[in-house]
Structures are given as structure tokens and as C-alpha cells.
A and B are shown apart, each in its own frame.
Chain A
Amino acid sequence: AQTVTQSQPEMSVQEAETVTLSCTYDTSESDYYLFWYKQPPSRQMILVIRQEAYKQQNATENRFSVNFQKAAKSFSLKISDSQLGDAAMYFCAYRPIYSGGGADGLTFGKGTHLIIQP
């Protein structure tokens, strides 16, 4: 079974600075998808960024980027120029590549609470 580990229960960063959230995972598959979700106090789950394991290029979405290290099974999220609106819980998630059978839902980490200091 796949597992996803987020080793930082809480992180704090000054507004406008850069912060990196860590995520490691364990899988025997060679191809899969990885995601970062944001959950603000409104509790809505918002997709931040996604990565295909077969792509070597790291995904980027505006101020959000990932550092995907397949061999190390690491998938960290970097937030540049942090803003107050970035304050939220962040969840790393894994999904098998083919949703054609078996339990292919998202496997989530336990989350990192990101605090933005003004």
C-alpha cells in the first residue's frame, strides 16, 4: 500500500518570503501522479499543483512550484513571495496512474499547517 508522509505538522514564514513544504511517499509503482492540495479555513479542498511521475520537468503554477525527486520519492512544494492568503493546511497526495480497478483513490499525507506572519 502507498503511504505519504509530511514530516512538518506546522510551518511559519514571513510574508513575501519563500517557504518549502516537504512530502515523501512510498510506492512500488513506476508511474503515478502527485498533487498538492490547499485547505484554507473555509475547509474547501483546492488543487494547487499536480505532477506526473513520468515527467522529469518540475511542475510550476505561478508562485507555486515543486521539486520532484523520483529516486528519493520526494515531492516538496515551494511557495515564493508568500502572501497572507496562502495561510492554510497543505496536503500532499498520491494517485495511481490508471483508475481502472482497485483502490485508486488519493492517498493523503497528514498535512502541514502553514502560518504566514505579516
Chain B
Amino acid sequence: EAQVTQNPRYLITVTGKKLTVTCSQNMNHEYMSWYRQDPGLGLRQIYYSMNVEVTDKGDVPEGYKVSRKEKRNFPLILESPSPNQTSLYFCASSRGGLGTYGYTFGSGTRLTVV
């Protein structure tokens, strides 16, 4: 089954404790992206990757890191989480190039930083 797999689905952590949210897709998609969803703000892009070893900042990158060492994986790293990073996070992937490619989204990770 074609899918984007995110783990964990729920995470509660303390301020300053480094964490990683994993994301993996099995569709050989070139493009991967991370979003955060906050009430009243919709989804906002954190980072994206056009292909292996190619990443760039989205609209709200502060406090986050990513890496793309393999095509299928795109982990989101919070080196020193803070309470304002409490949010619902989505990983998404898409084919690259021209075309009305919608994104395939993971199931989301609910992160709480206390």
C-alpha cells in the first residue's frame, strides 16, 4: 500500500530534550515536506526537500532541522524543543516535476512540549 509513515503518533516531552520524528514513504517520491498545524492557522510548511541531500526552509523553520540522506526518509529533528513547538505535525510527499500531484500525507504526530 502506498503510504507515508510517521512515528510516533503522539509524543510528550520536556523542554530542551532533543527529539526526532521519523517519516518514510514507499512511493519513490522526489519531494517531501514537513508541516505544522495549529488551530486557526491552517498548515504551515517547516522544511522541504526536492531530492536526496537537497533541503530548504519553508515558512516556519526556526527551531527545526531536517535531513534527506535517503530518498524514502525525511526525519524532523527538534534539537531543543520549546513549548511553542507544541503542535500537530505532518509529513507529506509528492512526485516532482510538472503535474497536478497532490501530496500524500502521513497520519500526523501530536507533539506536546512541557
> Which residues of B have CB within 8 Å of A108?
35, 42-44
B92 to chain A, nearest CB (A): 8
Report yes or no: A44 in contact with B108, Cβ–Cβ below 8 A. yes
User: Are the C-beta atoms of A50 and B94 separated by less than 8 Å?
Assistant: no
- Which residues of the partner chain A approach B105 to less than 8 Å between Cβ atoms? 44-45
Known: A109-B42, A110-B42. A103 touches B108 (CB 8 A): no
B100 x A33 contact (CB < 8 A): yes
Cβ contact of A45, chosen from B31, B56, B90, B100, cutoff 8 A: B90
Q: CB-CB < 8 A to B35: which residues of A?
A: 105-106, 108
Shortest beta-carbon distance from A79 to chain B in Å: 18
Query: Which of these binds chain B: A12-20, A65-73, A80-88, A94-102?
Result: A94-102
Do A44 and B56 touch (CB < 8 A)?
no
Main secondary structure of the interface of A (DSSP, over half): loop
Q: Do the beta carbons of A105 and B100 come within 8 Å of each other?
A: no
Which residue of B43, B58, B105 has the most chain A CB atoms within 10 A of its CB atom? B43
Minimum distance in angstroms from B98 CB to a CB of chain A: 6
In contact, A106 and B98 (Cβ under 8 angstroms): no
Interface residues on A, range: 20 to 34
List B residues 24-49 near A (Cβ within 8 Å). 31, 33, 35, 40-45, 48
Interface string of B51-79 (1 = CB under 8 A from A): 00000111100000000000000000000
Seed contacts A4-B42, A44-B107; 16 additional CB < 8 Å A-B pairs: A43-B88, A43-B107, A45-B103, A91-B42, A97-B98, A99-B50, A99-B94, A99-B96, A99-B98, A100-B50, A100-B96, A101-B50, A105-B33, A105-B35, A105-B58, A107-B45
Interchain residue pairs with CB less than 8 A apart (25) = A9-B40, A35-B102, A44-B107, A44-B108, A45-B92, A45-B103, A45-B105, A47-B102, A50-B100, A50-B102, A91-B42, A91-B43, A98-B98, A99-B31, A99-B50, A99-B96, A100-B96, A100-B97, A103-B45, A104-B48, A105-B35, A105-B45, A106-B103, A108-B44, A110-B40
